[in-house]
Structure 1
């Protein structure tokens, strides 16, 4: 059933990750928690609640979305996903530090000014 564009705009899309509780989320969570390792499909099936027959097609979809890498018979979380996670964590920490220690207006103004404006 179609929805209005207003309702579409109200949808809270917290990133482009898989829906929690799905096979994709289960596999991605497992691989992300073992980011320094690569696994076969059967190892992923044994370590998750995803059936063996669903692991392969789910991994293919995750690879097409750029979330996992595949070489030979091994699969791992994508370097891109790890980089995004690290950048998000860094941005969150930086934002939190500004909340606990507000920047003085003069300091903010110095950071906000364009260095090219200092030319005479």
Structure 2
């Protein structure tokens, strides 16, 4: 589905889909999960399975929106309230999928 050029120019968020399962979402989720570390594009590619050639473009778009930061070769999740909420949501989602629903004795 295309959008008008005015919407594209006026609303850069419309050009970046951060919905669950998209490449930007997968990169943000990975970086949020490891918010105490910074990674190279190659490491992000290896950890997320996103094509190597796509990682750099996605990171640049995320950086333009203040969602990631980088220094030299390394990239990390940005530090702001919006991303803190995203990281907390990811942590809660991960915890719910690893809960032991059967208790300690497996009954």
* TM-score, structure 2 normalization: 0.61
Separation in structure 2 between the aligned mates of residue 62 and residue 41 of structure 1, nearest angstrom: 13
Contact 2:30 2:48 in 1 (8 A): yes
Contact 1:41 1:75 in 2 (8 A): yes
Separation in structure 2 between the aligned mates of residue 83 and residue 57 of structure 1, nearest angstrom: 20
What 5-or-longer segments of structure 2 have no aligned partner? 3-15, 90-107
1:26 deviation in Å?
0.5
1:1-120 matches, cutoff 5 A: 18-80=18-80, 84-85=84-85
Contact 2:27 2:48 in 1 (8 A): yes
My pick for the range that moved more, 22-31 or 74-83, is 74-83
1:21 deviation in Å?
1.1
Separation in structure 1 between the aligned mates of residue 81 and residue 69 of structure 2, nearest angstrom: 10
What 5-or-longer segments of structure 1 have no aligned partner? 3-15, 90-120
- The structure-2 alpha-carbon separation of the partners of 1:22 and 1:81, relative to structure 1 and needing over 3 Å to count, comes to farther
Q: CA RMSD in A?
A: 2.7
Higher Rg of the two aligned structures: 1
Q: Which has the higher contact order (CA 8 A, sep 6+)?
A: 2
Aligned residues: 75
1:58 deviation in Å?
0.1
